[in-house]
Amino acid sequence: MSKLFQKTFIAGHKGLVGSAIHRCLSTNGYTNIITQNHDELDLLDAIAVNSFFESERPDAVYLAAAIVGGIHGNSTYPVDFLLGNMKIQNNIIEAAWRHGVQKLLFLGSSCIYPKAAPQPIKEEYLLTSLLEQTNEPYAIAKISGIKLCSAMNRQYGKDFMCVMPSNLYGLNDNYHPENGHALPMLLRRFHEAKINGLDRVVIWGTGTPRREFLFADDLAEACVFLMENYTSAAVGELVNIGTGEDCTIMELAQLISEVVGFNGGIELDVTKPDGTQQKLMDVTKIHSLGWRHKTSLREGLEKTYYDFLTNPTLRRP
């Protein structure tokens, strides 16, 4: 890969996706990478964001900053997930337009697609029917970001690209016992059951929903690949990024149990919601462009668990 951009800003560099993008860029020779901690730049503050762009003048932006969480987080903090994410997106995308950013990549989510979308989910299924209610606030915010990027491209001739990853996991994930996503929450639960000598782990729902899981470092490679080789005009309004493979939540739990080394049983709490029954991405477009994922689910889980064990900050309550 060649270094096409002189100055790159990663919004959300401390998160799962942003930190993976930072690693990928550094590995590929990028040295002028701008990052800002929350105490340095509040992305919810439009004036501060505009001033930052006016001063720094990045020519490439990866918009990975977001307020994220699973079913519990969306249900408990709908205003944060809807209004907060829209503010972050609007502030960065508008500032990028105003201050001449050459290229921007906006990170969406597979939850933007309809609850009853045919499987596997094609990019053109966006807004064809109702969303899954359990993550609707986050999905609506992300859809607004996609449409804003599209409008910028159409009205002002910008090159703002949107990618839709499948369910993500990996290094530097969020292991909060209530607000995290299913995979890191399960990994933490099995780990704590192991060290506390429990004989079982309880998981939400029926265990039958199917999910597709993508290692965050694979996503990062896809993002850099697209930014360096394609334009938004070439790939269309959005691009799915995934593995094209899925498994049931019960199969995931069993695999995590093996990786963690937990020898007890698994119990289902069917009083808890399942969410969408299946979310498998159609990755025909990204495959046709020349990118495929490299990391198997087991390999990714092993790397993720090692990171969890060796980074004590991840294990805080």
Q: Which residues of 23-45 are buried (b: 16+ CB within 10 A; e: fewer)?
A: bbbeeeebeebbbbeeeebbbbe
- Top-confidence residue, 180 or 243: 243
With the C-alpha atoms ordered 173, 177, 180, 184, is the resulting torsion angle positive or negative? positive
pLDDT digits (tens, 9 = 90+) for 53-72: 999 999 999 999 999 877 77
38 is in an annotated binding site: no
Rounded distance between C-alpha atoms, residue 97 and residue 94, angstroms? 5
Rounded distance between C-alpha atoms, residue 49 and residue 213, angstroms? 32
309 is in an annotated binding site: no
Whose tokens are 């919601």? That residue is 273
108 is in an annotated binding site: yes
Confirm whether 138 is a catalytic residue: yes
pLDDT-based confidence at 107, cuts 50/70/90? very high
Please give the DSSP secondary-structure letter assigned to residue 156.
H
- Domains along the chain? 8-315 (3.40.50.720)
Rounded distance between C-alpha atoms, residue 317 and residue 314, angstroms? 9
pLDDT digits (tens, 9 = 90+) for 213-230: 999 999 999 999 999 999
142 is in an annotated binding site: yes
131 is in an annotated binding site: no
Please give the DSSP secondary-structure letter assigned to residue 60.
E
Please give the DSSP secondary-structure letter assigned to residue 162.
E
144 is in an annotated binding site: no
Catalytic residue among 30, 138, 169, 175: 138
Rounded distance between C-alpha atoms, residue 43 and residue 85, angstroms? 10
pLDDT-based confidence at 161, cuts 50/70/90? very high
Assign residue 9 a region: left if phi > 0, alpha if psi is -120 to 50, beta otherwise? beta
> pTM of the entire structure?
0.94
